[in-house]
Amino acid sequence: MKQKHAITSLLQLFSLRFNLTGVAALILTCGLLGPFSYGQSEIVLRLPMPTTGPNSLDPVRGASQYDNVAASYVYETLLEYEYLTRPYKLKPCLLESMPEVSEDGKTFSFKLRDDIYFHDDPCFEDGKGRKVVTRDVFYSLKRMADTDNQPKSWWLMQDTIKGFDQYRKEQNEAERFDYDAPVAGMVEINDHEFQIVLNQPFIRFQYTLAMFQTSVLPREAVEHYQDRISRHPVGTGPFILEHWETGLQMVYRRNPNYRDVRYPADPGMKDDATPPYQGYAQDKALGMYDCAGERLPLADKVVLTMFQKNAPAWLKFLNKELDYTRVASENFSQAFIKRKRTLRPSFEAQGMRVVALPLLDMVYNGFNMEDPDYGGYTDQKKWVRQAISLAMDLDEVNEAFYDGINLIYDGPIPSGLDGHPEGHTAAVNYRGPNLQKARELLKKSGHPNGEGLPPLVYYTSQQAQSREMAYMTARNLKKIGIKMEVNALDFSELSEKMREKGAPFFGLAWGSDYPDAENNLQLFYGPFKSPMSNNFNYDRPQYNELYEEIRVMPASPERTAKYVKMRNMIIEDVPMIGAMARTRYYLIHDRLKNFKPEETFSNWVKYLTIK
């Protein structure tokens, strides 16, 4: 009887597997029998996000790397980066081909693909997504100009497209922002062809068209959802946002109407046996081209889980509940033989692999240059900031929190880009620790041993070890008589504090949006002050003039010389202290295929699969 009862139970369970719906089916498919959908196996990616999550999925309001990642599953841009190719190379995304550029470098001619549709959504008639046309591109760009949208991305377009700045001024002064009003440099030829005319040749412009802030979205969605568009994205991308539980998890589903886009073909080897790009042989050996020619996206579902602290993410990865993880400093010695920086055999035996990714990175501490006590441009104010910089010990921070693997360098230009100091050290710098010189500068500024200076109020993220790093800085500043108060906020609150110019001193990191130092130097351009990208609120006329020159210059020794001059101005004025560039160690379960970690762009999830 027991055996008969057991067989009957199994048959009933088998029957339930193919007939249950609703909540009961969800419990069954996610629990006893693993991931299924409509009776068929699903490919589910389980990925981490080391923060409380994005602030907004509205492209014009997005600014952080986390906004970029979460939005890039849903939205697409005119151009994108080739996934595997290094150095980085742009390719068409929403376009049929790369834009044609006039001889004077000012006119870009575009042709949209004819098979791109927005996601099905109630904002459209009958709920069916319509085809993307020229006016959608122009509408999406114009949203950057509308101050009611609280845009963080206007700096990308300021003084770039012919007539766009004047349009912005006129429309924001008008009673109603008119998205149908023309912009001289946005020329519609037909529904699928258009031109964009620039004020002057601008080397960065094509990179801008691959940034998530220039994603294309439909006017119907914005007008239907209004402020809710930040949580209800409607794009053209490979995935659709299904669920968002703030601070915990985001779930995306495959876009069933995604156009026919294929995994990149194997470029092979040239006749002279020269690899077609840097790292090709390693990619080939890892099976990166095993999916060549398969239709994208390769996964059916993406579960993106937020982790404000590192420990829970690490444990979930070890328990095989995440497909990969970044290796935090506190877990480094557990996973690696520190001296060799190689993966321990016990981890290799579990089918894990590691990728070390050097970042185009700037980890720094910054001053609000408009702060009455610690900002300003007089010699006295500058000497105070120089003293603070000299009291800090970046080597100590590197060893204590990054296992000594960070690259420490002077100024705001990461290694590998024009303008980075030779040997990572500028001829004149204020890199500490040098407490004697710091005390001399404080005395020279009229504040011996910090006398007369109020507490320096510091803001940082609650993420990972940011709070502990801040207390280390406070201990070092105490040695020269400066008291520092630490405020640790979640990332959204910290971002808001930056936008409001409310942080006298703060700790952040900047990952380059594209591989050119201009991207880092724009962080100090006066007209880009908060709430735009210049959180330092640095505003020196000489620097601004140089930036206006270099932003339109092609790569050349002359441009590099200006980069160096601007870098040295930043080092001397000390609106920032640093920087450090991280090497990110990714630990990856063998089941996750095609994963080549990258943080300069974020739309690579469509290439991933589980096998």
Whole-number Cα distances in Å, 273 to 264, 268, 278, 483: 20, 9, 13, 61
Identify whether the C-beta of residue 303 lies closer than 8 Å to the C-beta of residue 251.
yes
**Position 30 in a domain:** no
Say which residues have a Cβ less than 8 Å from residue 422's Cβ, sequence separation at least 6. none
In 3-state terms, what secondary structure has residue 110? strand
Counted domains in the chain: 4
**Position 23 in a domain:** no
Please check whether residues 324 and 420 belong to one and the same domain.
Answer: no
**Position 31 in a domain:** no
**Range from 162-176, 195-209, 397-411, 514-528 that averages highest in pLDDT:** 162-176
DSSP state of 170: H
455 pLDDT more than 90: yes
Domain around 257: 43-74+237-261+296-358+584-611
HSE of 536 in the Cβ direction (CA atoms, 13 Å)?
A: 27
Mean local confidence (pLDDT), 52-69? 90
Mean local confidence (pLDDT), 12-18? 36
Identify whether the C-beta of residue 186 lies closer than 8 Å to the C-beta of residue 179.
no
> Over the stretch 201-213, which tens digit does the pLDDT of each residue have?
887 899 999 999 9
Cα(9)–Cα(566) distance, rounded to whole angstroms? 74
* Proportion of the chain above pLDDT 70, given as a percent: 92
**Range from 45-59, 107-121, 451-465 that averages highest in pLDDT:** 107-121
Whole-number Cα distances in Å, 148 to 62, 139, 145, 183, 569: 15, 15, 9, 19, 35
**Position 38 in a domain:** no
- CATH code of the domain containing 189: 3.90.76.10
Question: Checking DSSP bridges between strand 342-343 and strand 324-326, what pairing results, if any?
Answer: unpaired
9 pLDDT more than 60: no
> Over the stretch 351-383, which tens digit does the pLDDT of each residue have?
999 999 988 889 999 999 999 999 999 999 999
Identify whether the C-beta of residue 56 lies closer than 8 Å to the C-beta of residue 194.
no
Please check whether residues 210 and 245 belong to one and the same domain.
Answer: no
Please check whether residues 447 and 590 belong to one and the same domain.
Answer: no
Q: Is the dihedral of CA 156, 252, 328, 470 positive or negative?
A: positive
Q: Which of 140-144, 154-158, 285-289, 534-538 has the lowest mean pLDDT?
A: 154-158
**Position 232 in a domain:** no
Identify whether the C-beta of residue 152 lies closer than 8 Å to the C-beta of residue 531.
yes
> Over the stretch 229-264, which tens digit does the pLDDT of each residue have?
999 999 999 999 999 999 999 999 999 999 999 999
Mean local confidence (pLDDT), 206-233? 96
Identify whether the C-beta of residue 600 lies closer than 8 Å to the C-beta of residue 520.
no
> Over the stretch 303-344, which tens digit does the pLDDT of each residue have?
999 998 889 999 999 999 999 999 988 898 899 987 788 899
Q: What is the mean pLDDT of the chain?
A: 90
The pTM assigned to this predicted structure is 0.77
Which residue has tokens 């406070």?
A: 474
Please check whether residues 311 and 460 belong to one and the same domain.
Answer: no
**Residues, the chain:** 611
Among 484, 395, 479, smallest CA distance to 442 is for 479
Please check whether residues 473 and 544 belong to one and the same domain.
Answer: yes
Please check whether residues 211 and 269 belong to one and the same domain.
Answer: no
Angle (nearest 5°) at CA 75 between 204 and 356:
65
Q: What is the pLDDT of residue 34?
A: 36
Amino acid sitting at position 472 = M
Please check whether residues 63 and 204 belong to one and the same domain.
Answer: no
Question: Checking DSSP bridges between strand 576-581 and strand 505-511, what pairing results, if any?
Answer: unpaired
1 pLDDT more than 50: no
Q: What is the pLDDT of residue 182?
A: 97
- CATH code of the domain containing 526: 3.10.105.10
Identify whether the C-beta of residue 306 lies closer than 8 Å to the C-beta of residue 247.
yes
Say which residues have a Cβ less than 8 Å from residue 558's Cβ, sequence separation at least 6. none
Please check whether residues 275 and 338 belong to one and the same domain.
Answer: no
3 pLDDT more than 90: no
Identify whether the C-beta of residue 431 lies closer than 8 Å to the C-beta of residue 478.
no
Q: Which of 96-110, 402-416, 462-476, 585-599 has the lowest mean pLDDT?
A: 462-476
> Over the stretch 274-296, which tens digit does the pLDDT of each residue have?
889 989 999 999 999 999 999 99
**Which residues, listed in sequence order, are joined to residue 193 by a DSSP beta bridge?**
111
438 pLDDT more than 70: yes
Please check whether residues 251 and 321 belong to one and the same domain.
Answer: yes
- CATH code of the domain containing 254: 3.40.190.10
Q: What is the pLDDT of residue 600?
A: 86
Cα(599)–Cα(307) distance, rounded to whole angstroms? 18
